[in-house]
Amino acid sequence: MTSIQLHQLQQHFSMLLDQVENTSNEDLSKRLKLIWDKRGCIDEKNVMQLIRIVKKYDTTSGNSIKQIIEKIRKKIFDLSIGDGKWFIYSFARAGEFEKVRALINIVSTDDELKTLLTKPQIQFNQNVVECAIQGRNQALIAYLNLPYPLLTKEIICKKGEDPKLEGLLSGMYTLNLKINYCIVYEDVKYHSTNCFTIINSSFQKRPLIFAFIEKENKLYPRLFWLSKSQATWRRLDKTFKDHIGKTRSGEERLLIPIRINLRFFEILNEQDDIQPLDGSLGNDFLQYVVAKSDKAVKKTPRTKDKKYHIVQDEQTLVQDEDSSVQDESGPFSLKPRETPENFFINGIPAISSKNDFEDNAVKPNFTKVERSQVITSAFYGRLRANVFLSNDENIRFLFLQNDLGHVFLAGAELINSPITRRGIRKKWVKLGSLSLPLKEYQKQFINEFISDSEKEEIRQGEQLTYVQTWNYLREMPCIQNYYAIPRQIQ
């Protein structure tokens, strides 16, 4: 065949592909058969269009069409790893991110995927990952190093500069973040990294975990951080110049499911050292994961309540831009109500014995521990995490107890509320002052209950960021019941 004839054949094949891709199903079977008959014309220039055709019609009804589509798909696969074309290797060397992804996404079995990624190109003895390293496309290298089950799933990345997905993966490569765990819980999977910190950032030394949340076969990039005083893992909503954002609904909204919380603690405690990452590199990565503002947090002037006590500053915090109607639901409130007899100071009942659940059905049932494990907090040290259900078994509570025997209610969740694509419950439990931690910001606590030693330090001019709250906690009915009721450890 002369070069002119070959060129005409390729032109005819290209026109045929355009007709099949851009027209209706009329004469589809006939045209697909023509494509199959002219399969020798498949090359690097038209294989992407052919993949789009396969994707478009692979669910079309009719056995004859399905059979032809499958034959074409299998031919593309064969050409990707051999038959003189070696598509995936040449695309990987050229750093063609989207083309490599497209070839990976036409595989139909795990064996095909493994072959595609591990089979070496004969003349160079390099597999596709080695070819990508040669091509120096960081996003492509990070993508190919994802666990096999993630490679064929759609990754939804809405933040950061375009191209968003490549930016996210490049950031993972730069920070050497790898997906090491798959935690399956209810209908969601958390594909997570090890713990790390980002130095010279608003996170300070707080442990972080990055994860892809898998929901309905799609992946959503999310970042989680460990609260210092509350000692619970939360989804990161937004970062400000000097602050971690917590949404308009408050930080309780961002608590991840309690069992995932405890699993994240296991990941943290399994590590000898937490990997510190450079702040500038970390910030470049974060733009693809969380909303970000370079402004300081806005604060309203301090106000006073009826008893003329200083109340905590209000902060202007914003919701994640990924918010959607299907992901949003209101809180289930358990927090005590303020009344003339039960007035609040800094959002806390002034009389600690009145800081209690109002409904017996939602109180923790301390007779049986659903789960118990030891965790380690940099702020508190060794803690015993005990999980209980409510009396009506609709709420799960997490209590944390230190080696002195001091305990607090760290978090709660509605058991039957679904987990969203953000990795948190759709409807959350608002505990308010019931979840007062063992240590609280001095300006957010009640001076009357500060320990004598800390009062003396303050009197001598010490500026204390945190103060102990045990003098208050031990008088709360819920905490007293925690110690009073014998329980069965499962």
- What is the Cα–Cα distance from 475 to 261, expressed in whole angstroms? 28
- pLDDT for 239: 61
Q: Helix, strand, or coil here: 238?
A: strand
Tokens of 361: 């059905």
Residue 461 tokens read as: 């001019």
The residue among 388, 387, 337, 385 whose CA lies nearest residue 363 is: 388
The two tokens of residue 232 are 């619970």
46, 72 contact by CB (below 8 A): no
362 contacts 395 by C-beta, under 8 angstroms:
yes
pLDDT number for residue 279: 80
pLDDT for 26 equals: 72
- What single letter denotes the amino acid at residue 433? S
Which of 295, 293, 358, 298 has its CA nearest to residue 332? Answer: 358
Neighbours of 80 (CB within 10 A): 26
In the prediction, which pLDDT does 403 show?
Answer: 96
**Parallel/antiparallel/unpaired status of strands 218-226 and 233-235:** antiparallel
How far is it, in rounded angstroms, from Cα 159 to Cα 286?
9
Measuring CA to CA, which residue among 249, 270, 261 is closest to residue 224? 261
Torsion of CA 428, 432, 437, 443, to 10 degrees: 130
Q: How far apart are CA 57 and CA 149, in angstroms?
A: 24
Q: Is the dihedral of CA 242, 247, 251, 257 positive or negative?
A: negative
d(CA 48, CA 403): 62
Closest CA to 375 of 390, 366, 363, 387: 387
pLDDT value for 490: 43
Query: Are 335 and 342 in contact, with CB atoms under 8 Å apart?
Result: no
Predicted TM-score of the model (pTM): 0.88
| Neighbour count for residue 489 (Cβ, 10 Å) | 8
Single-letter amino acid code for the residue at 469: T
What's the CA gap between 178 and 361, in Å, rounded?
Answer: 44
Distance CA 397, CA 413 (A): 7
Residue 189: count of CB within 10 angstroms of its CB: 19
What is the model's pLDDT at position 399?
98
Cα–Cα distance, 228 to 207 (Å, whole number)? 9
Ranges in the chain, pLDDT < 70: 1, 25, 61, 238-250, 291-330, 341, 488-490
The whole-number pLDDT of residue 380 equals 97
Specify the residue for token string 């500069």: 161
- Tell me the longest C-alpha to C-alpha distance in the chain: 98
Tokens of 186: 């209810």
> HSE of 2 in the Cβ direction (CA atoms, 13 Å)?
3
